Amino acid sequence: MTFHFLALSVCSSARGLLLVDVSELGRFRLLPAIMSRGALFLWFLALGLEIQPSLGTEVSVNNTDKLCLYANLTVSFSVTYEAAGNKNETVMFELPEKVETDGSICDNTSSTLKLSFGKGHSWTVSFSKNDKTYQADSIVFNYSLNDSTIFPNATSNETMSVSVKPAITNVGVDTCYSCKSKEEFTDEAVNQTLSDVLIQAFVNGSKSDKLTLCTADLPVTTVAPTTHVITTTTVTNVTTTTTTIPTTTIPTTTPTPALPTPATGKYIIKPDENSTACLLASVGLRIGFRQGEKYQEINLEPNGTTVSGTCGTNSSELVLRSNTVTFMFTFTSDAKTKKFHLHALNVTASPSSGVVFTETNNNLTLWEATVGSSYLCNKEQNYNITSLLTLYTYELQVQPFAINKGVFSTAEECLADVESYLVPIAVGVALIVLILIVMLAYFIGRKRNMATGYESF
């Protein structure tokens, strides 16, 4: 008779994780012979442990021998790639049970969980924390087409990268985020499915037994509409009419005061302290967003903004985080066209109302320029990122790839800047043409007058 591992896992410092190899421990090998199934269940129940199956990939990250980050989750991938014979192939695989956590980082206000597997693949989640809650800012999935075991007959050996924003927000400090429901992310050729998640970032030595449930796992409650009874009385006939009408809420909007032009911030990403810049950005940023019937705007203040990010061959990321708003810009480059552009933007705002606002667009084509040059747009621009989010930029210049000597390369200007130059040039040319026409008319007229005078004489 063959027995398998029985996993008893909880997110608790007191309970921990119990793995029982029934095939190798003699005293447990005898249990089925001396106990009934009911008695065996009662024996486990007496331990006060919650029995549940293993959730897939389980990792613990330590900082100086002290647990600082814990995760137990399942991630499924579906990737479409170009194969030999000019065909598109789609493969499906899962995050394996055994992964490497090299590159994972624990800090007081930000943490990174990096799970590496296979031949050059990695799945990375970045977390940030404020006083009472934490959230996942991004998920970056890197996959190597050079791995023929997963991507047979691939025509490219590049390492591709996609970045998405998960709905892991407002998780209470010292609690585990739990979500059994599935959350899917689709980004061009990649689909990721996240399920059976149990994560605690910013662990202070031991896991918590408290949970913060995802919205999808919360029970659905229906609230009956409230009604008011209005009674009108006609004095003449002494009759009473009773009318029941449902309560309606009339939205009230308060005009938002105009904000000053946001200050221009200069942001630099370096692979390490001893290296030159691999990403440069100079820009003033503002967002406009709608929550219900209320429209608000927030400027990013460069003073007090923390800068982080990563640089890759064909994908780079810039994260700007202040007390009120967080921007995550993802840039990608195309080896065929040798162009780069802003591919994805995630914005998280914390307005004065206290209700966190989050919006993501993973299918943008903005700020396109040739790799090795920078993108420049001095004029104010506004972009409708989603139906609820508008991005405003001022004096923008960005270069996410191929930076030389730590400074911006030759700029490719936006159409708005080019048009601003063309208008005065066109006006100047028109004036010159007009002056030439007037002068030509004057000389022709003078010549005719002189000829007429000679004939009269």
| pLDDT at site 188 | 73
End residue of a domain, out of 180, 202, 217:
217
Segment 97-124 shows an average pLDDT of: 92
CB 100 within 8 A of CB 116: yes
| pLDDT at site 454 | 53
Residue 131 lies inside a defined structural domain of this protein:
yes
- What lies within 8 Å, CB to CB, of 284 at 6+ separation is 261, 262, 263, 264, 265, 299, 300, 393, 394, 395, 396
| pLDDT at site 101 | 93
Segment 423-432 shows an average pLDDT of: 76
69 and 6 within one domain: no
77 and 209 within one domain: yes
275 and 194 within one domain: no
Report d(CA 321, CA 328) in Å as an integer.
9
Q: Find the CATH number of the domain harbouring 292.
A: 2.40.160.110
43 and 66 within one domain: no
129 and 18 within one domain: no
User: In total, how many domains does the chain have?
Assistant: 3
| Beta strands at 315-321 and 325-334: parallel, antiparallel or unpaired | antiparallel
pLDDT tens figures, 69-104: 999 999 999 999 999 988 889 999 999 999 999 999
Report d(CA 130, CA 108) in Å as an integer.
9
Point out the least confidently predicted range of 157-166, 195-204, 260-269, 424-433.
424-433
Report d(CA 11, CA 167) in Å as an integer.
20
Residue 430 lies inside a defined structural domain of this protein:
no
Q: Looking at the DSSP assignment, which residues form a beta bridge with residue 320?
A: 307, 327
Domain that holds residue 281: 265-416
pLDDT tens figures, 28-60: 333 333 344 444 444 444 444 343 444 589 999
376 and 304 within one domain: yes
41 and 29 within one domain: yes
Percent of the chain with pLDDT over 70: 77
Coil vs helix vs strand at 453: helix
167 and 100 within one domain: yes
At residue 127, does pLDDT exceed 60?
Answer: yes
- Which one, of 387, 372, 287, lies nearest residue 329 by Cα? 287
CB 95 within 8 A of CB 114: no
pTM: 0.47
| pLDDT at site 344 | 94
Structure tokens of 445? 């007229």
In the block, tokens 């985020």 appear at 177
- Interior angle at CA 429, CA 425 and CA 434, nearest 5: 150
82 and 19 within one domain: no
**Per-residue pLDDT band at 68 (split at 50, 70, 90):** very high
Residue 242 lies inside a defined structural domain of this protein:
no
- Report how far apart, in Å, the C-alpha atoms of 128 and of each of 108, 134, 176, 452 are: 9, 6, 15, 90
- Report how far apart, in Å, the C-alpha atoms of 302 and of each of 167, 270, 325, 327, 376 are: 27, 18, 11, 12, 19
45 and 68 within one domain: no
Report d(CA 123, CA 112) in Å as an integer.
11
| pLDDT at site 126 | 93
CB 55 within 8 A of CB 9: yes
**Per-residue pLDDT band at 337 (split at 50, 70, 90):** very high
165 and 118 within one domain: yes
End residue of a domain, out of 54, 69, 93:
54
CB 88 within 8 A of CB 201: no
| pLDDT at site 269 | 95
Residue 391 lies inside a defined structural domain of this protein:
yes
* Torsion angle of C-alpha atoms 136, 142, 148, 154, degrees rounded to 10: 120
CB 317 within 8 A of CB 329: yes
35 and 92 within one domain: no
Residue 434 lies inside a defined structural domain of this protein:
no
Residue 239 lies inside a defined structural domain of this protein:
no
